[in-house]
């Protein structure tokens, strides 16, 4: 600990000792957080910044012109928010393109009728070629069923993974994590047994007509076969037909392809610390989005909330002790290159990252924070919970963080993730419904209030 740090700690401890049970400090923190809240709820710019990101820029898939436009726009937003410094961190990102609009149908061979499917290619999937693929469909409910069928039951067919998100999980991210393996690993596991293509039930909490995309990850030990998601309503219909022994075949055509890696950037804006500038607190979200919609909840919301933290500190006159850094990470959706680059540069510069907070679960009403850190640090943060009660946050649970800040754990950084109410998130996630109109200004700004409050407390008291 430096002499400067010792002096500050002495002043802090002395202030607590001079007040009974630290009530003065608690009251002062409460007043500061109220000031932050009043500023954001009255004058916040996050919602209007999100409007620009969604309506002026639009979908921001890594490597696309829109992704580059989002880099330029958020750099401008950070400057307007009052960041002391704004700069870009170059990184190379995957450049997958969807191509022409996908087509697909199921044909009932008894009468020749065709049922048009609502489908979309999975991210990073290879295309079918111009003729598309056609074949018998085999439904599997899990990987055990796939293994039992083996090559004899799968060779030359289209595998239909029909694994619904578990409705009994009130924490919907648990259901998403369980179902997600069929999207990410399903195509390669089917290819192992000779499948010519894969259809995956969309990862959605409720039944609707919108296909939800997302990344698939190929295993290079097996052929790369085309993969699509079909809407939950179509999955229900198809399952009924298959189980009623209807004689049918499916057809789909996609022209997606992976192009060479493209140059892109993380966008960084920071306020330099006044006492411990070498200690860095990161707050961020990911700038890229899938190409089916505007990426409002995933994750435009997290980006504009992080920018709002910078703006609120400046607007309320808070001079942080430590360096506060807002980061718009690139390429969370189909590669994670931005988060990896951030860690790489942190190591290269020997930076001291003490805490990182990510918002990547939507801009809905905030409920709490997930904390991935030692029990001692977790307990310290949980001791502040009464300060958040008036702002709707009550949950301080073990486990959290996020995909982009996760790599920082390798250098000992304490991680946290904002936990908004998740009941509607997977109606929109990776689908055409993830638009600006689906975001509530009050909910979005209240999330930013709680993020700024946590950043303030960690900055003021350390971990």
The label of the residue with tokens 């998130």 reads: 425
Question: Which residues are identified as catalytic?
Answer: 332
Interior angle at CA 154, CA 151 and CA 157, nearest 5: 140
Burial string for 242-254 (b: 16+ CB within 10 Å, else e) reads: beeeeebebbbbb
Report the C-alpha gap between 389 and 99 in whole angstroms. Answer: 48
- For the chain, count helices (H), then strands (E): 13, 16
Q: Are 415 and 400 in contact (CB under 8 A)?
A: yes
Residue closest to 297 by CA, chosen among 115, 197, 447, 194:
447
Question: Six-digit token pair at 224?
Answer: 């790369």
- Give phi and psi for 199, each to the nearest 5: -120, 130
Question: Six-digit token pair at 165?
Answer: 């998100």
DSSP string, 149-199: HHHHHHTTSEEEE-----TT-SSHHHHHHHHHHHHHTHHHHHHTTT-SEEE
Question: Six-digit token pair at 354?
Answer: 């003490």
Question: Six-digit token pair at 269?
Answer: 């804006």
Report the C-alpha gap between 378 and 396 in whole angstroms. Answer: 8
Beta strands in 359-442, from DSSP E residues, in sequence order: 366-372, 395-398, 414-420
Q: Are 294 and 288 in contact (CB under 8 A)?
A: no
- To the nearest 10°, report the CA torsion of 109, 110, 111, 114: -40
Interior angle at CA 116, CA 166 and CA 289, nearest 5: 55
DSSP string, 295-346: -IIIIIHHHHHHHHHHHHHHHTT---SEEEEEEEES-TTTT-HHHHHHHHHH
Report the C-alpha gap between 363 and 113 in whole angstroms. Answer: 43
């Amino acid at each position: 600990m430096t002499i400067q740090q010792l002096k500050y700690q002495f002043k802090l401890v002395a202030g607590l000792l001079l007040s009974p049970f630290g009530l003065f400090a608690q009251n002062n923190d409460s007043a500061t957080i109220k000031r932050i809240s009043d500023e954001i709820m009255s004058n916040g710019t996050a919602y209007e910044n999100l409007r620009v990101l969604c309506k002026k820029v639009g979908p921001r898939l890594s490597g696309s012109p829109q992704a580059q436009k989002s880099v330029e726009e958020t750099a401008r937003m950070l400057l307007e928010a009052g960041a002391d410094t704004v700069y870009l961190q170059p990184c190379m990102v995957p450049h997958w393109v969807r191509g022409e609009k996908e087509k697909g149908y199921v044909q009932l061979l008894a009468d020749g009728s065709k049922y048009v499917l609502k489908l979309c290619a999975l991210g990073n999937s290879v295309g079918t070629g111009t003729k598309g693929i056609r074949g018998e469909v085999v439904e599997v409910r899990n990987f055990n069923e796939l293994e039992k069928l083996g090559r004899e039951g799968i060779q030359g067919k289209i595998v239909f993974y029909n694994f619904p998100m578990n409705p009994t999980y009130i924490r919907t991210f648990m259901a998403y994590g369980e179902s997600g393996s069929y999207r990410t690993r399903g195509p390669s596991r089917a290819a192992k047994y000779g499948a010519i293509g894969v259809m995956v039930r969309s990862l959605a909490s409720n039944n609707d007509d919108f296909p939800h995309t997302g990344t698939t990850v190929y295993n290079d030990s097996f052929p790369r076969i085309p993969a699509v998601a079909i809407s939950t309503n179509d999955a229900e219909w198809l399952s009924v037909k298959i189980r009623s022994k209807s004689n049918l075949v499916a057809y789909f055509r996609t022209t997606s392809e992976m192009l060479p890696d493209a140059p892109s950037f993380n966008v960084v804006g920071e306020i330099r610390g006044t006492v411990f500038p070498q200690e860095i607190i990161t707050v961020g979200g990911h700038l890229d989005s899938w190409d089916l919609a505007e990426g409002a909840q995933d994750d435009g919301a997290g980006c504009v909330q992080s920018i709002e933290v910078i703006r609120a500190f400046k607007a309320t006159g808070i001079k942080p002790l430590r360096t506060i850094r807002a980061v718009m990470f690139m390429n969370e959706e189909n590669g994670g290159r931005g988060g990896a680059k951030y860690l790489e540069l942190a190591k290269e510069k020997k930076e001291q990252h003490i805490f990182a907070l990510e918002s990547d679960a939507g801009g809905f009403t905030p409920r709490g924070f997930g904390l991935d850190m030692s029990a001692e640090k977790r307990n310290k943060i949980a001791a502040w919970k009464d300060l958040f009660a008036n702002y709707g946050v009550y949950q301080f649970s073990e486990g959290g963080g996020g995909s982009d800040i996760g790599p920082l754990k390798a250098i000992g950084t304490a991680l946290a993730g904002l936990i908004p109410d998740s009941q509607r998130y997977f109606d929109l996630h990776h689908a055409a419904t993830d638009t600006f109109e689906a975001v509530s200004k009050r909910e979005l700004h209240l999330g930013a209030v709680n993020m700024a409050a946590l950043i303030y407390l960690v900055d003021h008291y350390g971990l």
